[in-house]
Amino acid sequence: MIVREVIAEGNYTAIDYVNDAIDVLQSRLVKKPTFALYIMAFEQVKCVKNILLEVEKDKSKLHTMNLGVLASKEFDTTDPELAQSLSNVNYIASQVGQGLKVILPHQIDPEYKKRKKRCSK
């Protein structure tokens, strides 16, 4: 089963998105093991995973991460797959950091749906 089918079935979780980013980063680190941006992103994604798994209790680290900046400024044009993976993890991490219920990148915010219905009437 391919990833899109799993997402369509609703079985894709926050950890799946984080593991995807880890896989992408590991493949990049094999080619360039000393590239500082890959190392930094990898450490930040591992931290998000530890917080999601409740191995790490200190969520304050989520407020100092720069995964979104790396995704948009460093990798958006040169490595779109990595940029998307980092962006997905950043989206999840920002919600966890704010103490919100996590809406995954493939899901639509139910409040957004309600607002959209009200506006179209």
Count of C-beta atoms within a 10 Å radius of residue 65: 22
pLDDT band at 111 (very low <50, low <70, confident <90, very high): low
**What whole-number distance in Å separates Cα of residue 65 and Cα of residue 60?**
10
Q: What is the pLDDT of residues 57-73, one digit of tens each?
A: 889 999 999 999 999 99
pLDDT in tens, 76-86: 999 999 999 99
What is the C-alpha separation between 102 and 42, in angstroms, rounded?
Answer: 21
Per-residue pLDDT tens over the stretch 18-49? 999 999 999 999 999 999 999 999 999 999 99
4 pLDDT above the threshold of 50: no
Taking alpha carbons only, the member of 61, 30, 57 closest to residue 45 is 61
Q: What is the CA radius of gyration of the chain?
A: 16
